[in-house]
């Protein structure tokens, strides 16, 4: 694949970078924004807790299915036209999310939003890789990465405030002005680039990969609610995933022009980069998902305050990107070791929290974790594609983002399972300590007898025991976060240095 701009238009590449960053941020804003509105949406649509979560599941499944398609689209059509089509479709589906009045409509709208948004990150990354030479890619990836990381911070902050002041529909309407700006930026800056490759579409490969990824995402998202392997649904989804992936892999190894060219995995740094982005994806969104739940359920903070606390993570990420913009020429193994060490430290620091954690403590932990994210993203992006053949950029970036999304889903599911299961175990243990022999308990009941407590006292005691046991569950999840961060470091020494192009 040739570069997208000529030497005389070299200064124009910075405008392309700005567009790619903003469009990627638009997609990233939609990833977590619906989670803020779920409680209010549930009431409007008279849905159960299990039903309303399909508004999240539908978006995740659509994103997973259509992300790999971006590689083939880029070899067949102009990237400019794909971006325009995707942004317009994303804007219309986002508006439809806001006007939805029943469960079926919101799930369909969120699925469409995920489908139209899925090609945006890989195609924008392909644009950036195509216009920047090797020596400038660390800086370019640092700037472009701001869109990927800051989107989930900006959207909950702004959407949470408007949702609290007005209603849940404004959580989605918030994205509409950003869509218009993104559309104008694509029209103004993205050049027309016609690919010389006209690959035939491998329907078999695409369908079975889509089924495999989709069933895996549904299993992960619904696993905890279904009791994991206590439910036949989990076994069915796992079987479909394994069987479909087996068909996809067998077909790809024997078909002349498969949907995903397996030759890209022969590139050593690319394969190591996929391992690193898998770990990065595992660590990236967990605090974004876990912290709002802790702050809302255990501390009772309003949405606006939660958004501000999440904003401290964005500040840390920005600071990490700023450092990498000037330290991009350092050995990536060094900067990545610092990045994942900071992630591990943030996980350990969060594991020292208790139910009385302060605003300051949460902000510091989020800021440190954000720095780790900012230091990790640019070198991983550069390492992964530093020796990749330019003709494979489109499908390689699509696979890159697919792995990242799957990793996020897997680790979020693991952490939620750790929180709930260890929380239940500790609830049983703590409850066993509430006896007439426990003088510490009796001192808090103003003379009430332990065997003759009032209903209000029992309710308050049960609520407090539940809060304390859930907090222990969250602490265990943070410890797991720290260990995963440390386990990433040995893989850094498998990276091979290459000469700059």
Same domain flag for 156 and 22: yes
For residue 243, the model assigns a pLDDT of 94
Write the DSSP symbol of residue 191: P
For residue 6, the model assigns a pLDDT of 47
How far apart, in Å, are the Cα atoms of 342 and each of 66, 275, 372, 417? 33, 19, 5, 25
Last residue of a domain, one of 176, 201, 226: 201
Using CA atoms, how far apart are residues 106 and 59, in angstroms rounded to an integer? 10
Same domain flag for 45 and 136: yes
Long-range CB pairs of 96-104 (<8 Å, 24+ gap) are 97/34, 97/172, 98/169, 98/170, 98/172, 98/173, 99/169, 100/45, 101/44, 101/45, 102/45, 103/45, 103/47, 103/51, 103/52, 103/54, 103/55
Using CA atoms, how far apart are residues 60 and 278, in angstroms rounded to an integer? 17
CA angle 266, 271, 276 (to 5 degrees): 175
Same domain flag for 249 and 284: no
Which residue in 475, 236, 438, 448 sits closest to 349, CA to CA?
475
For residue 275, the model assigns a pLDDT of 92
Same domain flag for 154 and 228: no
For residue 291, the model assigns a pLDDT of 77
Residue 451 half-sphere exposure, CB side, CA atoms within 13 Å?
Answer: 2
pLDDT in tens, 299-345: 777 766 776 777 788 788 888 888 887 776 778 888 899 999 999 99
Last residue of a domain, one of 238, 258, 278: 258
Same domain flag for 458 and 391: yes
Using CA atoms, how far apart are residues 298 and 203, in angstroms rounded to an integer? 48
Q: In the numeric block, which tokens belong to residue 34?
A: 């619906």
Last residue of a domain, one of 258, 278, 297: 258
Residue 256 half-sphere exposure, CB side, CA atoms within 13 Å?
Answer: 3
Question: Please, what is the end-to-end C-alpha distance for the chain in angstroms?
Answer: 15
Per residue of the chain (501 residues), what is the pLDDT tens digit?
Answer: 444 554 445 667 888 888 998 998 888 887 767 766 766 777 777 776 566 767 777 787 788 788 888 877 877 778 888 999 999 999 999 999 888 888 888 889 989 998 999 889 888 888 888 888 877 877 787 788 777 766 766 776 676 677 667 778 888 888 899 999 999 999 988 877 655 556 677 888 888 888 888 888 788 877 777 778 888 888 998 999 999 999 998 988 888 888 888 888 888 888 999 999 999 988 887 777 777 778 777 777 776 677 677 778 878 888 888 888 777 677 888 889 999 999 999 999 998 988 888 878 888 988 999 899 888 888 888 888 888 877 777 788 888 888 888 888 788 888 888 888 888 888 777 777 666 666 666 566 555 555 555 555 666 677 778 888 888 888 999 999 999 999 999 988 888 765 444
Same domain flag for 246 and 335: no
Residue 398: CATH number of its domain: 1.20.1250.20
Phi, psi of 450 (to 5 degrees): -60, -30
For residue 9, the model assigns a pLDDT of 58
Q: Using an 8 Å Cβ cutoff, are 141 and 128 in contact? A: yes
Which residue in 375, 382, 282, 393 sits closest to 337, CA to CA?
375
For residue 75, the model assigns a pLDDT of 75
Same domain flag for 246 and 325: no
Same domain flag for 190 and 176: yes
Same domain flag for 208 and 284: no
How far apart, in Å, are the Cα atoms of 351 and each of 50, 347, 365? 29, 6, 10
Q: Which domain range does residue 220 map to?
A: 202-258
For residue 366, the model assigns a pLDDT of 87
Exposure letters 463-473 (e unless 16+ CB within 10 A, then b): eebbebbbbbb
Same domain flag for 231 and 309: no
Phi, psi of 322 (to 5 degrees): -60, -40
How far apart, in Å, are the Cα atoms of 470 and each of 16, 163, 188? 46, 27, 51
Number of domains in the chain: 3
CA angle 409, 312, 351 (to 5 degrees): 60
Same domain flag for 85 and 157: yes
* Element at 29 (helix H, strand E): helix 13-44
* Element at 256 (helix H, strand E): none
Same domain flag for 174 and 52: yes
The alpha helices in 100-136, defined as continuous H runs, are: 103-117, 120-131
Q: Using an 8 Å Cβ cutoff, are 110 and 92 in contact? A: no
């Amino acid at each position: 694949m040739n570069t997208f701009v000529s030497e005389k238009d070299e200064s124009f590449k910075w405008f392309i970078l700005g567009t790619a960053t903003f469009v990627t941020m638009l997609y990233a804003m939609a990833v977590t924004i619906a989670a803020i509105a779920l409680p209010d949406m549930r009431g409007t649509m008279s849905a159960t807790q299990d039903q309303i979560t399909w508004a999240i599941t539908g978006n995740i499944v659509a994103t997973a299915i259509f992300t790999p398609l971006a590689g083939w689209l880029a070899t067949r059509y102009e990237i400019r036209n794909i971006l325009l089509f995707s942004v317009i479709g994303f804007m219309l589906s986002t508006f439809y999310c806001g006007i939805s009045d029943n469960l079926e409509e919101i799930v369909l709208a969120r699925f469409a939003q995920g489908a139209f948004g899925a090609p945006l990150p890989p195609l924008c990354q392909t644009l950036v890789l195509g216009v920047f030479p090797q020596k400038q890619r660390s800086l370019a990836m640092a700037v472009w990465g701001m869109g990927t990381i800051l989107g989930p911070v900006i959207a909950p902050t702004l959407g949470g405030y408007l949702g609290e002041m007005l209603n849940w529909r404004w959580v989605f309407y918030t994205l509409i002005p950003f869509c218009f700006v993104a559309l104008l930026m694509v029209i103004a800056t993205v050049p027309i680039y016609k690919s010389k490759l006209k690959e035939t579409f491998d329907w078999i490969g695409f369908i079975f990969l889509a089924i495999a990824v989709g069933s895996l995402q549904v299993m992960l998202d619904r696993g905890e609610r279904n009791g994991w392997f206590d439910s036949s649904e989990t076994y069915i989804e796992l079987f479909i995933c394994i069987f479909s992936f087996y068909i996809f892999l067998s077909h790809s190894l024997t078909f002349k022009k498969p949907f995903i060219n397996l030759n890209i995995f022969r590139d050593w740094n690319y394969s190591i980069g996929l391992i690193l982005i898998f770990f990065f994806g595992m660590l990236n969104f967990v605090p974004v998902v876990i912290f709002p739940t802790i702050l809302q359920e255990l501390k009772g903070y309003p949405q606006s305050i939660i958004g501000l606390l999440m904003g401290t993570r964005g500040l840390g990420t920005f600071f990490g990107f700023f450092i990498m913009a000037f330290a991009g020429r350092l050995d990536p193994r060094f900067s990545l070791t610092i990045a994942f060490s900071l992630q591990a430290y943030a996980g350990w620091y969060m594991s020292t929290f208790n139910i009385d954690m302060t605003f300051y403590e949460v902000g510091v932990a989020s800021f440190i974790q954000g720095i780790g994210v900012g230091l990790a993203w640019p070198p991983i992006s550069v390492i992964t594609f530093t020796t990749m053949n330019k003709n494979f950029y489109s499908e390689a970036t699509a696979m890159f983002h697919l792995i990242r999304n799957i990793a996020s889903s897997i680790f979020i599911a693991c952490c939620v399972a750790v929180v709930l299961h260890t929380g239940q175990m500790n609830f049983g243990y703590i409850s066993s300590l509430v006896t007439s022999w426990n003088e510490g308990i009796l001192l808090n009941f103003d003379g009430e007898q332990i065997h003759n407590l009032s209903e209000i006292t029992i309710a308050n005691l049960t609520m407090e025991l539940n809060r304390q046991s859930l907090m222990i569950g969250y602490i265990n999840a943070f410890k797991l976060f720290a260990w995963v961060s440390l386990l990433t470091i040995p893989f850094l020494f498998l990276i091979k240095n290459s000469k700059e192009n």
